[in-house]
Chains A and B, each alone.
Chain A
Amino acid sequence: MDVTLFLIFALSAVACGVNVVVQRHPITSAISLIGVMGSLAALYLLLGGEFIAAAQVVVYAGAIMVLFVFVIMLLNAGSETKGGRSWPVRLLGIPLLVLLLGILSFIIQHFAPKTEKVSFGAFTSGGPRDIGKLLFTEYLLPFELTSVLILIAIMGAVVLARKEID
């Protein structure tokens, strides 16, 4: 049951991820990226992260991706024209990416414990109470700093996107 659920959401995440990279029009990539985030939220639930799964759906898929879709529709971004890439890129691109994936997978296989298994329900400290307990004691400084960061980001976005009043 765990394996079935993991495979369903993992395959849907990879399929949507491939779709993000491959599609010509950015709006299709944005919708596929929402699919990736939804599948990842389900995987976080399988790993016991209830708060992070909810935050993923609300913040990532519900705010950031909506912002992306707004901007894509605002700019009326059309399909990408076939750009001319130089022949070394065309030749070495995919093999080098496969090499990167191979190196990462080898390192993971080497260092991941062989007997560790993830079963649904084994990790119970992912709820809001445990996250809050740690967030407001040990990680209080980063928490306050992120509020300053968000303020700076708001100011930056307003300054960059405003209309010049001449």
Chain B
Amino acid sequence: MEGVPLAWYLILSAVLFTLGVAGFLFRRNLITIFMSIELMLNAVNLSFITFSYKLKQVDGHIFAFFVMVVAAAEAAVGLAIILTVFKNRSSLAVDDVNSMKY
């Protein structure tokens, strides 16, 4: 029963991170941008767990757990901010949130 090379997990993490970057930079909907941030956080979690396997320590799992906790807190506050933006502008397009532009 042969195993999977460790690099494959890390490359999967890199692919998911790049997809998150693509969604963050190219999409114009606030909620989709926020979901791309969550995708990037998940990719980094996979990287943590992979290295925890490699180093035979459980510290990576604990760091991934803290990342999850911080992501939960950030999701709560970020969605509250998105709700406020929608209440004031009636639009979720990030191009419309431009009152601080020149």
Q: List residues of A whose CB falls within 8 A of some B CB.
A: 1-3, 6, 10, 13-14, 17-18, 20-21, 26, 29-30, 33, 36-37, 40, 43-44, 46-49, 51-52, 55-56, 59-60, 63-64, 67-68, 71-72, 74-75, 77, 80-81, 83, 85, 89, 93, 97, 100-101, 104-105, 108-109, 112-114, 116-120, 122-123, 125-126, 130-131, 134-135, 139, 142, 146, 149-150, 152-154, 156-157, 160-161
A74 to B87, CA, bound (A): 11
A82 to B1, CA, bound (A): 49
Contacts beyond the supplied A51-B65, A67-B79, A93-B22: 5 A-B pairs with Cβ under 8 Å: A14-B12, A118-B9, A126-B52, A131-B61, A150-B69
Which one of B3, B25, B58, B92 lies within 8 Å of A2 (CB-CB)?
Answer: B3
A147 to B101, CA, bound (A): 37
Identify the interface centre among A46, A47, A85: most chain B CB within 10 Å of its CB. Answer: A47
**Size class of B's contact patch?**
35 or more
Given A14-B16, A149-B69: A77 touches B76 (CB 8 Å cut-off)? no
Contacts of B97 in A (CB 8 A): none
A125 to B97, CA, bound (A): 47
Interface residue SS majority, chain A: helix
Are A10 and B76 in touch, CB under 8 angstroms?
A: no
Q: List residues of B whose CB falls within 8 A of some A CB.
A: 1-12, 14-23, 25-29, 31-32, 34-36, 38-39, 42, 45-46, 49-50, 52-54, 56-59, 61-62, 64-66, 68-77, 79-84, 86, 92-93, 95
